[in-house]
C-alpha cells in the first residue's frame, strides 16, 4: 500500500484546508489536493491526500472511510495510479 489516498464524495465547498483538517488526526500530511474542473473552477467532489507514511494512510482509510465531512459521507481508499492515455492527452 502507498501513502496516497483517494477521497470521494467531498462537499462542493470543501477546499484543501478542510481536507487537511479532516485527515490530520491520522498522521503527518505532506500534500492535500481537491481536484477542480478547469472550465468552471468548481470542485469535482474528490481529492487526494498524501501522508508521510504508509501507516498513516492505512489509518485514514480504516478510520475515516464513511465519515461525515460537511454533511456528506466521504469515501476513502488507496489512490490508484492514473491510467495511461493512448490519445496523447487530446480529446
Q: What's this model's pTM, rounded to 2 decimal places?
A: 0.88
Whether 67 maps to a domain, the answer reads yes
Number of structural domains (the chain) is 1
**With contact defined as beta carbons under 8 Å apart, do 41 and 6 qualify?**
no
Whether 35 maps to a domain, the answer reads yes
Domain CATH code at residue 64: 3.30.70.330
Is the model's pLDDT at 73 over the cut of 80?
yes
* Residue 72 CA neighbour count, 13 Å, CB half: 16
pLDDT in tens, 13-32: 999 999 999 999 999 999 99
Query: Residue 83: its pLDDT value, please?
Result: 81
Amino acid at each position: 500500500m502507498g501513502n496516497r489516498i483517494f477521497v470521494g464524495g467531498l462537499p462542493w465547498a470543501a477546499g484543501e484546508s478542510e481536507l487537511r483538517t479532516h485527515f490530520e488526526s491520522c498522521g503527518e500530511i505532506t500534500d492535500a489536493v481537491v481536484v477542480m474542473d478547469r472550465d468552471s473552477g468548481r470542485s469535482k467532489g474528490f481529492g487526494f491526500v498524501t501522508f508521510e507514511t504508509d501507516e498513516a494512510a492505512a489509518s485514514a482509510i480504516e478510520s475515516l472511510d464513511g465519515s461525515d465531512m460537511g454533511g456528506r459521507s466521504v469515501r476513502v481508499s488507496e489512490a490508484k495510479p492514473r491510467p495511461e492515455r493512448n490519445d496523447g492527452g487530446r480529446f
